[in-house]
Amino acid sequence: MKKMTNDFGNIIADNQNSLSAGAKGPLLMQDYLLLEKLAHQNRERIPERTVHAKGSAAYGELKITADLSKFTKAKVFAKGEVTPLFLRFSTVAGEAGAADGERDVRGFAIKFYTREGNWDLVGNNTPTFFIRDAYKFPDFIHTQKRDPRTHLRNANAAWDFWTLCPEALHQVTILMSDRGIPASYRHMHGFGSHTYSFINDKNERFWVKFHFKTMQGIKNLTNAEAEALIAKDRESHQRDLYEAIDKGDFPKWKVQLQILAENDTDKLGFNPFDLTKIWPHSIVPLIDVGEMVLNKNPENYFNEVEQAAFSPSNIVPGIGFSPDKMLQARIFSYPDAQRYRIGTNYHLLPVNRARSEVNTYNVAGAMNFDTYKNGAAYYEPNSFSDSPKEDKSYLEPDLNLEGGAQRYAPLDNDFYTQPRALFNIMNESQKNQLFANIAASMQGVEKAIIDKALAHFEKIAPEYKKGVENALKA
């Protein structure tokens, strides 16, 4: 058997699990192979995005109607606060010329221009994802892209990966359900997906998940409806969004949160930072906090939509990260992708630029057109009173960790409970659509891989397996 190595011939002992500070802790910077995989992936294609290449966007605002001061000191969540924003929707797997109506996860990335700097919330139209460890992310995306030999999409690769990574079953069930092809960007929910943290003015931490529920109602397409639509209009979602806003039919979303006290995570019974799992609403109920509206179209698609750059590393006081392994890796990967794709000073482009005061010692670099405003100092620390200084009052509370440094060992291998719960709330029509959609997606897939998938479906529910088997024979 050939031993797997990195680009320099160093043998790789573990290509499945990130190096973690304990089972619940954050990732370690010394995991150079993880960084190398993510950095390499960001440079695989130029100039379009490696993922989320096909996008549509609009400007709008967020209005907060609830008092959240108990949970966060972030001004963007102060009652009555109205914050301008830019929201980019996207498909994930397809290239920039892909059709809008394909069966795919949809990106849901929001840039909030807050009074305390830009806050980027980078999520999807699903509350979960296919994997929970970023070590697997470049490989997963390879299965969604074109086979380098044939330059064709490869269903065999996708299902081979999913059956070998059963943590994907929850997201696969969502993707293959009747909600797998939204009728438009206006008619789908959005989620921050990851777990983030809130910090209040007492320096107390809470864990939080962000939900955006469409007020237009959910509308989806069947495979047949999507095929007919794509044959007539490959830009259906872009057209729908632009024309709705252009005629004053502004799309809206109800903003809801799930909030959990820092030490209450045991209530869930599983790792709260596992991106393949949801927080049950029966345990952590949704809280209504406000409304989001889109009310202005971009004027120049390339300047505003194509050059828009989002990263979960952009946070503001009162909002922080969590030990979510996928989130931790995206904190590095996203800005690294933008530096490569757009350039070192991508933050100076109008769509990306903060609307609050910016005081930085980052200087020079290609396409830097900023004015230097730091007086005599071009470094920090310095002795000049008119130069910006750090402010330790903004430090977050310590995050207590446990365990030794190790390759990420998930706290559980329960891949079936949450997909089963989702399957059990589907009606007969939804189940039949799920079976048919899976069968359609398995065209050309090897029998051995199909058999592995069926074995997983049976563990979710015998009816799940039987339904897919019958659909495959139809």
Tell me: the pLDDT tens digits for 98-138? Answer: 999 999 999 999 999 999 999 999 999 999 999 999 999 99
Q: By percentage, how much of the chain surpasses pLDDT 90?
A: 75
Looking at residues 331-353, what average pLDDT do you find? 92
Q: Which residue(s) pair with 124 in the sheet?
A: 107, 191
Give the integer Cα–Cα distance in Å for 108 and 190.
6
Residue of higher predicted confidence among 244 and 13:
244
DSSP state of 297: -
Nearest to 316 by CA among 115, 84, 70: 115
Hunting for tokens 């490959």 — which residue is that? 234
Question: Is pLDDT of 36 > 70?
Answer: yes
pLDDT of residue 452: 98
pLDDT of residue 370: 83
Q: Which of 42, 118, 124, 297 is catalytic?
A: 124
pLDDT of residue 44: 66
Return the SS3 of 205: strand
Q: By the 8 A CB rule, do 390 and 360 touch?
A: no
List the single range of 38-47, 113-122, 171-180, 296-305 with lowest mean pLDDT.
38-47
CA distances, 245 to each of 183, 293, 299, 405 (Å): 16, 10, 13, 51
CA distances, 337 to each of 106, 215, 224, 355 (Å): 19, 33, 36, 23
Q: By the 8 A CB rule, do 277 and 283 touch?
A: no
Give the integer Cα–Cα distance in Å for 81 and 318.
15
Structure confidence by residue, pLDDT tens digits, 66-82: 999 999 999 999 999 99
Q: Which of 42, 52, 237, 347 is catalytic?
A: 52
Give the integer Cα–Cα distance in Å for 338 and 306.
11
DSSP state of 268: G
Looking at residues 331-357, what average pLDDT do you find? 91
pLDDT of residue 82: 98
Q: Quick one: pLDDT band at residue 406, thresholds 50, 70, 90?
A: confident
CB neighbours of residue 145 within 10 Å: 19
Structure confidence by residue, pLDDT tens digits, 219-278: 999 999 999 999 999 999 999 999 999 999 999 999 999 999 999 999 999 999 999 999
Give the integer Cα–Cα distance in Å for 141 and 129.
12
pLDDT of residue 7: 64
Question: Is pLDDT of 45 > 80?
Answer: no
CATH 2.40.180.10 fits 50-158+182-356, yes or no: yes
Question: Is pLDDT of 418 > 60?
Answer: yes
- What residue ranges in 9-156 does DSSP mark as E strands? 19-21, 55-64, 82-91, 106-114, 117-124
> What's the token pair of residue 92?
């994930």
Structure confidence by residue, pLDDT tens digits, 140-170: 999 999 999 999 999 999 999 999 999 999 9
Question: Is pLDDT of 303 > 60?
Answer: yes
Give the integer Cα–Cα distance in Å for 19 and 215.
42
Q: Is 165 left (phi over 0), alpha (psi -120 to 50) or beta?
A: beta
Q: What is the CA radius of gyration of the chain?
A: 23
Q: Quick one: pLDDT band at residue 428, thresholds 50, 70, 90?
A: very high
Those residues whose C-beta lies under 8 Å from the C-beta of residue 241, and which sit 6 or more positions away, are: 56, 58, 89, 184, 185, 186, 251, 294
pLDDT of residue 179: 96
Question: Is pLDDT of 198 > 90?
Answer: yes
CA distances, 105 to each of 64, 225, 268, 337, 453 (Å): 28, 17, 26, 20, 20
Q: Quick one: pLDDT band at residue 382, thresholds 50, 70, 90?
A: confident
CB neighbours of residue 245 within 10 Å: 21
Q: Quick one: pLDDT band at residue 331, thresholds 50, 70, 90?
A: very high
In this structure, which amino acid lies at residue 414? D
Q: Mean pLDDT over all residues of the chain? A: 93
Give the integer Cα–Cα distance in Å for 219 and 91.
17
Nearest to 370 by CA among 384, 359, 379: 359
Question: Is pLDDT of 362 > 90?
Answer: no
Q: Please, what is the Cα angle at 78 between 204 and 198, to 5 degrees?
A: 30
Nearest to 82 by CA among 272, 390, 359, 293: 293
Question: Is pLDDT of 423 > 90?
Answer: yes
Give the integer Cα–Cα distance in Å for 288 and 64.
9
Active-site annotation holds for 382: no
Give the integer Cα–Cα distance in Å for 434 and 436.
6
Q: Angle of helix 447-460 relative to helix 417-424, nearest 10 degrees?
A: 80
Q: Quick one: pLDDT band at residue 9, thresholds 50, 70, 90?
A: low
Residue of higher predicted confidence among 68 and 44:
68
> What's the token pair of residue 101?
């109506």
Bond preceding residue 410 cis, omega within 30 of 0: no
Active-site annotation holds for 17: no
Q: By the 8 A CB rule, do 130 and 322 touch?
A: no
Q: Which residue(s) pair with 292 in the sheet?
A: 62, 253
